[in-house]
A and B are shown apart, each in its own frame.
Chain A
Amino acid sequence: MSDQAVTLPASAGAVANRLEASGPRGPKPRHVFSRRNIFLYGTLFVVAVYYLLPLYVMVVTSLKGMPEIRLGNIFSPPLEITFEPWVKAWSTACTGLNCDGLSRGFWNSVRITVPSVLLSIAIASVNGYALANWRFKGADTFFVILIVGAFIPYQIMIYPIVIILREVGLYGSLAGLVIVHSIFGMPILTLLFRNYFSSMPEELFRAARVDGAGFWGIFLRIMAPMSLPIFVVAIILQVTGIWNDFLFGVVYTRPDTYPMTVQLNNIVNSVQGVKEYNVNMAATILTGLVPLIVYFISGKLFVRGIAAGAVKG
Chain B
Amino acid sequence: MTEANGTSVSIQDLSLNFGAVSVLQTLNLDVAEGEFIVLLGPSGCGKSTLLNCIAGLLDISEGRIFIKGKNVTWEEPKDRGIGMVFQSYALYPQMTVEKNLSFGLRVAGVARDEIAKRIARAAEILQIEPLLQRKPAALSGGQRQRVAIGRALVRDVDVFLFDEPLSNLDAKLRAELRVEIKLLHRKLQNTMIYVTHDQIEAMTLADRIAVMRGGIIQQLDAPQTIYNRPVNRFVAGFLGSPAMNFLDGQVEAGPVFKTDGVSVPLDRYVFDGTERPTGACVLGIRPEHIAFGDAAKSMPFSASGSVEIVEPMGSDTLVWTKLGGRNLSFRVEAERTLRPGDPVQIGFDPVRASLFDAATGNRL
Contact = CB atoms under 8 A, between A and B. Distances in A.
A308 B87 CA distance: 22
B90 A217 contact: no
Nearest to B161: A210
A218 to B, nearest CB: 10
Interface string B78-105: 1000111011111111100000000110
A12 interface: no
Contacts of B87: 203
B124 to A, nearest CB: 21
Given A203-B87, A204-B92, A226-B93, A221 B77 contact: no
Nearest to B52: A206
B94 A211 contact: no
B107 A203 contact: no
A217 B55 contact: no
Given A213-B103, A213-B107, A207 B84 contact: yes
B151 interface: yes
B111 interface: no
Given A204-B92, A206-B57, A211 B151 contact: yes
Contacts of A217: 107
B359 interface: no
B106 to A, nearest CB: 9
B21 interface: no
Given A201-B88, A211-B103, A211-B107, A225 B94 contact: yes
A211 B78 contact: yes
Interface centre among B55, B87, B107, B163 (most CB of A within 10 A): B107
A275 interface: no
A225 B92 CA distance: 10
A208 interface: yes
A210 B82 contact: yes
Interface in A233-274: none
Interface in A179-225: 201, 203-204, 206-213, 217, 221-222, 225
Interface string B111-155: 000000000000000000000000000000000000010010001
A67 B93 CA distance: 61
A151 to B, nearest CB: 29
Contacts of A212: 76-78, 104, 107-108
B91 to A, nearest CB: 8
Contact of B86 (A206, A213, A221, A226): A206
Interface residues of B, number: 27
B290 to A, nearest CB: 43
Nearest to A227: B94
Contact of B77 (A209, A222, A225, A226): A209
A210 B57 contact: yes
Contacts of A226: 92-94
Nearest to B101: A211
B81 to A, nearest CB: 11
A304 B164 CA distance: 31
Nearest to A228: B94
A86 B42 CA distance: 71
Given A210-B55, A210-B104, A212-B104, A201 B78 contact: no
Contacts of B103: 208, 211, 213, 221
Contacts of B78: 209-213
A226 B136 CA distance: 13
Given A209-B77, A209-B78, A204 B90 contact: yes
Contacts of A207: 84, 86, 90-92, 148, 151
Contacts of A208: 92, 103
Contacts of A211: 78, 103-104, 107, 151, 155
Nearest to B102: A211
Interface string A286-302: 00000000000000000
A164 B195 CA distance: 55
Contacts of A213: 78, 103-104, 107
Nearest to B83: A210
A198 to B, nearest CB: 15
B84 A210 contact: yes
Interface string B207-250: 00000000000000000000000000000000000000000000
Interface in A109-150: none
A207 B145 CA distance: 13
Interface string A30-60: 0000000000000000000000000000000
Contacts of A222: 92
Contacts of B93: 226
9 contacts: A201-B88, A204-B92, A209-B76, A210-B55, A211-B151, A212-B76, A212-B104, A213-B107, A226-B92
Interface of A: 201, 203-204, 206-213, 217, 221-222, 225-226
Interface of B: 52, 55-57, 76-78, 82-84, 86-94, 103-104, 107-108, 148, 151, 155, 163
Nearest first, the 5 A-B pairs at minimum CB distance are A212-B78, A211-B104, A207-B90, A203-B90, A203-B86
